[in-house]
Structure 1
Amino acid sequence: MTQWSDYTTGERIKLLRGPDLTQEQLAEASGLSVATIRKAERDLGGSLHTLLRISAALNADVSVILGQQAPRRAMRGADRAMLRELSRAVHDTAAGVGVDVQPPAPAELAAGLAAAWEMYRAGDFAGAGVRVAPALREAAAALRAATADQRGTAAGILADAYRLAAYVANQFGARDLAYAGIGHAQDQADRAGDIVRSAMVASGRSWIYLRDSRLGQAEQTARASYESIEPRYGDRDPGLLATYGWHVTFAAVVAARSGDIAGADDLLSQGQAVAARMGRDVTVNGTAFGPTTVTAQAIGISVSTGRPGKALGLFGSLGDPSGLTPSAHNRLMLDVALAQAETRQSDSALDTLLDVCSAAPGWARHQALPGVIAQKASAGSATTAKLRKLSAILGTSMVIS
């Protein structure tokens, strides 16, 4: 039986388009030419921007088009079990089920949730999901037992737990669970009366929209998230500056995905100005931001907007990237590999890609870019041996032209 990953990218686009949507209609929906659609379906090349537009028009994640997940993702047994338990934790706690127990001490609760966030930032999404499910129940129990003057703090902790649950679900393509988790996170952030937390939840919702190919809602929500916490000129609080800087930079990412290059560059410059005021990278409520972070994002934006040379130039000036989280560093190197592939440095691109995927195979399997990079690099001087090694690591066939 043919597996979804056995098809080429062009064949997957054709299958997703189906008999009821013509190439002309897909071209109109994606804002691309009919010739571009025909080339994509014949595996004759296409940029990441093209694939993102096609995926949005087909209401599919780009990783589905690239064969990294099936339209209905077939997951490993352990991942399915984790998601089932996470789903129960999200829905039960929201309904008040199973939270009438003695909560742990505040320090123990904080440590459990911090460990889950740390695993997520390291790229261990399944591990984070295993950790956050009990943390959700504990946080809900703590809120139930909180006194009047403790409820704001307890609601904020529960908001963070729901947000992490939504992020894990989104990484596994469990979009309904992601929407549920982020909705409950918003309720608790509002209950806590914390505008910074509310903004972080809004940014998380924007990311879910982005992965769900709802670009208009992603852009609108991202804008609302940073506008709600824009600092005054004299503000020096590193937590507020980091949160605002991350949100405006993420809005630049969304604008770039939407094809608004000028808007993306304007928002990115705002993020760079904030990072310069900070002078260092800091982490606030599970989100890191600063000069290194914003430069890494600028590299990704340059690649996704068709400026690979600029991306490689920025990477050359980056300096020490060790301040990035493991997940952010891995994503940075995928962007570098894509820029190398776009500038016809095929062997270098595959070497960079192999380094990332070998170091973090579990993380790499949830990313769309490895398939894009392999496709582009296989059209150059890349060796078949490297592509086969990548296929073995990622568990999906790589297109070899």
Structure 2
Amino acid sequence: MPQWSDYTTGERIKILRGKSIKQTDLAEMTGLSLPTVQQAEQDKRLTLQTLMKVAAAFGVDTSVILGQQAPRRAMEQSDRAMMRALSRAVHDTAVGILPDEDGDPATLEELGEITSRCWELYWAGCYVEAGAIAGPFVRAAATRVREQPVGEQGAAWGVLSDAYRIAGYVANLMGSRDLAYAAIGQSQAAAQRASDDLRQALVMSGRAWVYLRDARLAEALDLAEKAALDIEPRFSRATKEQLVAYGSHVNFAAVVASRMGNKELVADYLSQSHATGARMGGERRAHGTVFGPVSATTQAVGINVAMGSTGKALTLINGLRGDELETLSGAARNRYAMDKALAYADAKMWDPALDVLEETLTGSPGWGRHQALPSVIVQKIGKASTARLRRVSELIGVSPTGVSGFPPATRKTAL
């Protein structure tokens, strides 16, 4: 399997350009002549000036063009532009650099509507769109804090905490770990300024998710457990909103425990998750998250797959009805589909695994570009070298015999 450094500089430029950007487009984006772009891709001539302009157009560091570090998986031009703008918004507002407002700053009510819209996009799996709104949202929320009278800033700090948390979630999912840490840190500081215990617990859980994706499992579990404990409601008088927050927190704690192989802890948290879902009676959205009995069951499927309990996972899958899954958000439904496909693959049920994988990736191509699990499933199916396996592999940009986001190193044609 070729590594990013195995390609020539010209091949790396072609790969980053992809199918959606033509050479003439790249020339216009960089201000370079078409012959200059062609010479760079043919490894005939690449000056420092050309290198810097090409890197800026793709939104990557020059070291990526030169092969010193690999680009983040599945990042397209629009993704990189969004992440660059989001990073600037987070870092600028963190040091107090705010835009000059031509008109009145957004009201708390307007910012609340933006919060809801961002979460809707996020849970629908529209991560680039959510991130594109999150950048201006962070700036607007920070401006609202500045404009609020002293002593009346609590609610504004709360909204700013939400804005940073959304930015952190998008960055974490897109693989920008440094930005995720920075955004979630700012979210935590804003939640503390808001004196909002629930928001602080939500941010704590978000930080645990960043730790999980950074393989800091022990720290992730500590935070996840503390977040769940801090908001554990008394079920007899808990509101649906409190149950949503608590259920999603214990679900996540079960996920982290499963990554550590702690079966006893996993069973305990899954039991609490199912009990909370049963108490709610249906799916509910609150505080930027979604939870209910179906969420509890679908999460249990993924956890059992991760723990190697394929039989338990398949039993849970067989007990779920299609109409129940429709109550989930788009992203949660797609994630469950991947867990389902992986369970089928583990059971060597190749055709059902490919059925689920192809249907999901065809229906949600934008979501699929930012997921690693489809590649894992294709690799598991591996030797089943069918036309459909090749078709599914093309949807996620991998080779049927190995996982790679790039074409074979011997391929010389423009992508």
Shorter-chain TM-score range: 0.7 to 0.9
Identity of aligned residues (%): 49
* RMSD after superposition: 2.2
Question: Which residue of structure 2 aligns with residue 353 of structure 1?
Answer: 357
Question: TM-score, normalising length from structure 1?
Answer: 0.80
CA gap 1:84/1:236 in 2 versus in 1, 3 angstroms: same
Report the 3-state secondary structure (helix = DSSP H, G, I; strand = E; otherwise coil) of the residue aligned with 2:184.
Answer: helix
Question: Which residue of structure 1 aligns with residue 131 of structure 2?
Answer: 129
Tell me if 1:108 matches 2:110: yes
CA–CA distance in 1 between the matches of 2:212 and 2:330? 22
Question: Which residue of structure 2 aligns with residue 308 of structure 1?
Answer: 310
Question: Which residue of structure 1 aligns with residue 84 of structure 2?
Answer: 84
CA gap 1:330/1:70 in 2 versus in 1, 3 angstroms: farther
Tell me if 1:371 matches 2:375: yes
Question: Which residue of structure 1 aligns with residue 332 of structure 2?
Answer: 328
CA gap 1:390/1:239 in 2 versus in 1, 3 angstroms: same
- Residue 346 of structure 1 and its aligned partner are, at CA, apart by 0.7
- Residue 109 of structure 1 and its aligned partner are, at CA, apart by 2.3
Query: CA offsets per residue over residues 324-349 of structure 1, 9 Å max, x none?
Result: 10000000010000011111101110
Report the 3-state secondary structure (helix = DSSP H, G, I; strand = E; otherwise coil) of the residue aligned with 1:230.
Answer: coil
CA–CA distance in 1 between the matches of 2:6 and 2:392? 15
Report the 3-state secondary structure (helix = DSSP H, G, I; strand = E; otherwise coil) of the residue aligned with 1:288.
Answer: strand
- Residue 2 of structure 1 and its aligned partner are, at CA, apart by 4.2
Aligned residue identity for 1:177: L
- Residue 6 of structure 1 and its aligned partner are, at CA, apart by 9.8
Question: Which residue of structure 2 aligns with residue 269 of structure 1?
Answer: 271
- Residue 321 of structure 1 and its aligned partner are, at CA, apart by 0.8
The number of aligned residues is: 338
Query: CA offsets per residue over residues 281-313 of structure 1, 9 Å max, x none?
Result: 111111001101111101111111011121121
Aligned residue identity for 1:308: T
Question: Which residue of structure 2 aligns with residue 45 of structure 1?
Answer: none
- Residue 152 of structure 1 and its aligned partner are, at CA, apart by 1.2
- Residue 71 of structure 1 and its aligned partner are, at CA, apart by 6.8
Question: Which residue of structure 2 aligns with residue 40 of structure 1?
Answer: none
- Residue 117 of structure 1 and its aligned partner are, at CA, apart by 1.7
Superposition pairs for residues 218-229 of structure 1, below 5 Å? 218-229=220-231
CA–CA distance in 2 between the matches of 1:108 and 1:234? 34
Report the 3-state secondary structure (helix = DSSP H, G, I; strand = E; otherwise coil) of the residue aligned with 1:147.
Answer: coil
CA–CA distance in 1 between the matches of 2:6 and 2:225? 39
Unmatched segments (≥5 aa) in structure 1: 8-68
CA gap 1:75/1:153 in 2 versus in 1, 3 angstroms: same
Tell me if 1:176 matches 2:141: no
CA contact (8 A) 2:255 2:303 kept: yes
CA contact (8 A) 1:6 1:397 kept: no
CA–CA distance in 2 between the matches of 1:226 and 1:259? 20
Correspondent of 1:243 among 242, 245, 256? 245
Question: Which residue of structure 2 aligns with residue 290 of structure 1?
Answer: 292
Aligned residue identity for 1:77: Q
CA contact (8 A) 1:5 1:396 kept: no
CA–CA distance in 2 between the matches of 1:259 and 1:345? 25
CA contact (8 A) 1:99 1:140 kept: no
Question: Which residue of structure 2 aligns with residue 387 of structure 1?
Answer: 389
Aligned residue identity for 1:83: M
Question: Which residue of structure 1 aligns with residue 154 of structure 2?
Answer: 152
Unmatched segments (≥5 aa) in structure 2: 8-68, 404-415
CA contact (8 A) 1:276 1:291 kept: yes
- Residue 318 of structure 1 and its aligned partner are, at CA, apart by 2.0
- Residue 5 of structure 1 and its aligned partner are, at CA, apart by 11
Report the 3-state secondary structure (helix = DSSP H, G, I; strand = E; otherwise coil) of the residue aligned with 1:137.
Answer: helix
